[in-house]
Structure 1
Amino acid sequence: MKTPASPLALDRNSGAPLWTQFRDSLRARILQGELPVGTKLPTEAEFGEQFGISRIVVREALADLVRNELIYKIRGQGAFVSARDREEDFVSTVLGFSDEMERKGRSVRTQVLGQELRAATPEETASLALSGGTQVVALRRLRSVDGELQLLVETCVPADLAPGLQRTRLENRSLYDVLRRQYGLRIVKAERWIDAVLPDDETAALLEVSRLEPLLRIESIAYGANGRPIEHYRAVHRCKNSRLHVQTTT
């Protein structure tokens, strides 16, 4: 069995190991849907011939893809593309969604639907411990992972902590990274609440789901080192091809 030409040629002068280049090429084809779930992959020898690399290089790359659950092997039958039931840990970390996904090698895209400076709502005032009439920067963003719509997020940040944030370009950028780099704000802890909901018409249209597909709703209040709330958000999260992972310790 032969696969189509790779979208990423191996560069022997780049300094990057050939096995990581081959792994990244194959991973990109899987995540972009070029190799659908259940596809039987070529043998190590066939991959070696196609890419001009040794079977040892191929074997090391495939082993890494198995460890990351992108492919699986059946003895005597070969390697196959796995269903992508992703585990997402962002609910149990303070990394933020983009940072946590990118740490796992996922491709994150962000579409900004709204970005404005306005007065805080009563709920936002209480959640962020603000005085009445305080302004916030309110964001509404649609997030995709590996080309699949995943998350609709409404976020607000006290305007005095992030002056000008309403004018900052946030398309395909991590909000937490912007807060760190541009405003020196580092989130050290967060409280999060999770429940199940059905989408309304607008949410279903934005996430391209049925009104009958359950979503997880996540609410979060994040705090800085001085204990002051920095961010309040509400998000609805598709879980059809992923699951949230929370790790606890004593």
Structure 2
Amino acid sequence: MNSLADIAPLLDRNAESPLWTQFRDSLRGLILNGELAIGAKLPTEAELGEQFGISRIVVREALADLVRSGLIYKIKGRGAFVSARERDEDFVSTVLGFSDEMERKGRTVRTQVLVQELRAPTTPEAHALALAEGDQVVALKRLRSVDGELQLLVETAIPADLAPGLHRTRLENRSLYDVLRRQYGLRIVRAERWIDAVLPDAETCRLLELATPEALLRIESIAYGPSGRPLEHYRALHRCATSRLHVQTTT
């Protein structure tokens, strides 16, 4: 195999991000862009270290993270290989946000904000979020793609008193849950979710660029903080032609 360093982005030793994350992201990009084929064998740790001018410790840490995200796998005595890209989506059964869960799997999420406003809640929103008369919500409508493929149309409502100014915060291509954690100290610890199948209307077909209507999974969620107060209500329409929702249960 030719040197991967010849086709990967250069590592910047003056950057704030550590070398192992730069190296990991370089390999991730080669895999997701198809420059490393499914099943391809990676060079050894020693060879990768020599090609990129980094230590084996740096290489090992990056490869371990790629194994955790499912982009590569290792066979004892044979080395590391490129995995088939993961298409099962676990966000519906975890309290991770959609962006956080996709990032953990090494996938690229893009978010287009269609609506971001401060307003009175609808009746379902007020009921789900246990709001009183006169309370307001920050309402969002976002279109989300995964690895360049439109996947999700989401309408979200968050109590305005919990996130003052959120309606003015830049959310394009950002994780909402990350913003809520970092900017407002809001942590989601559990959620209730309901899933059914629906056919999209003409406007949804236009937004998701569906040439013909196809069945979508409709997900409704109410998420709660440590105190038990509802923090978020959303309704999402999820394309399922090229992916599956994965739910893990325990006793």
Normalised-by-shorter TM-score class: 0.7 to 0.9
TM-score, structure 1 length as denominator? 0.77
User: Which residue does 2:29 correspond to in 1?
Assistant: 28
Q: 1:205 to 1:37 in 2, by over 3 A?
A: farther
User: Which residue does 2:19 correspond to in 1?
Assistant: 16
Provide the C-alpha distance between the structure 1 equivalents of 2:108 and 2:156, rounded to a whole number of angstroms.
21
| Aligned residues between the structures | 239
Q: CA deviation at 1:23?
A: 5.8
User: Which residue does 2:231 correspond to in 1?
Assistant: 230
Paired residues of 2:41 and 2:81 also in contact (CA < 8 A): no
Q: 1:72 to 1:177 in 2, by over 3 A?
A: closer
User: Which residue does 2:126 correspond to in 1?
Assistant: 125
Percent identical among aligned pairs is 71
Q: CA deviation at 1:43?
A: 8.0
Deviations 1:141-191 (A, max 9, x none): 111222222211100011111111111111111111221222222111110
Provide the C-alpha distance between the structure 2 equivalents of 1:102 and 1:140, rounded to a whole number of angstroms.
21
Provide the C-alpha distance between the structure 2 equivalents of 1:243 and 1:123, rounded to a whole number of angstroms.
27
Q: Secondary structure at the match of 2:241?
A: coil
User: Which residue does 2:77 correspond to in 1?
Assistant: none
User: Which residue does 1:111 correspond to in 2?
Assistant: 112
Tell me which amino acid in the other structure corresponds to 1:126. Answer: H
Alignment of 1:194 onto 2:210: no
Q: 1:80 to 1:181 in 2, by over 3 A?
A: closer
Tell me which amino acid in the other structure corresponds to 1:148. Answer: E
Provide the C-alpha distance between the structure 2 equivalents of 1:36 and 1:143, rounded to a whole number of angstroms.
26
- For structure 1, list consecutive stretches of 5 or more residues without a partner in the other structure: 74-78
Q: 1:215 to 1:8 in 2, by over 3 A?
A: same
User: Which residue does 1:138 correspond to in 2?
Assistant: 139
Deviations 1:172-222 (A, max 9, x none): 111112212222221111100111122222222222223332221110001
Deviations 1:114-156 (A, max 9, x none): 1001111111111111123421110011112222222111000
Provide the C-alpha distance between the structure 1 equivalents of 2:177 and 2:153, rounded to a whole number of angstroms.
16
User: Which residue does 2:216 correspond to in 1?
Assistant: 215
Tell me which amino acid in the other structure corresponds to 2:190. Answer: K
Provide the C-alpha distance between the structure 2 equivalents of 1:222 and 1:116, rounded to a whole number of angstroms.
20
Paired residues of 1:6 and 1:25 also in contact (CA < 8 A): no
Q: 1:248 to 1:209 in 2, by over 3 A?
A: same
Provide the C-alpha distance between the structure 1 equivalents of 2:129 and 2:101, rounded to a whole number of angstroms.
24
User: Which residue does 1:183 correspond to in 2?
Assistant: 184
Q: Secondary structure at the match of 1:102?
A: helix
- RMSD over aligned Cα atoms: 3.6
Paired residues of 1:189 and 1:223 also in contact (CA < 8 A): yes
For residues 13-92 of structure 1, what are the structure 2 equivalents within 5 Å?
16=19, 24-31=25-32, 33-35=33-35, 41=40, 52=51, 70=71, 84-92=85-93
Q: Secondary structure at the match of 2:210?
A: coil
Tell me which amino acid in the other structure corresponds to 1:105. Answer: G
User: Which residue does 1:93 correspond to in 2?
Assistant: 94
Q: Secondary structure at the match of 2:235?
A: strand
TM-score, structure 2 length as denominator? 0.76
Q: CA deviation at 1:81?
A: 6.8
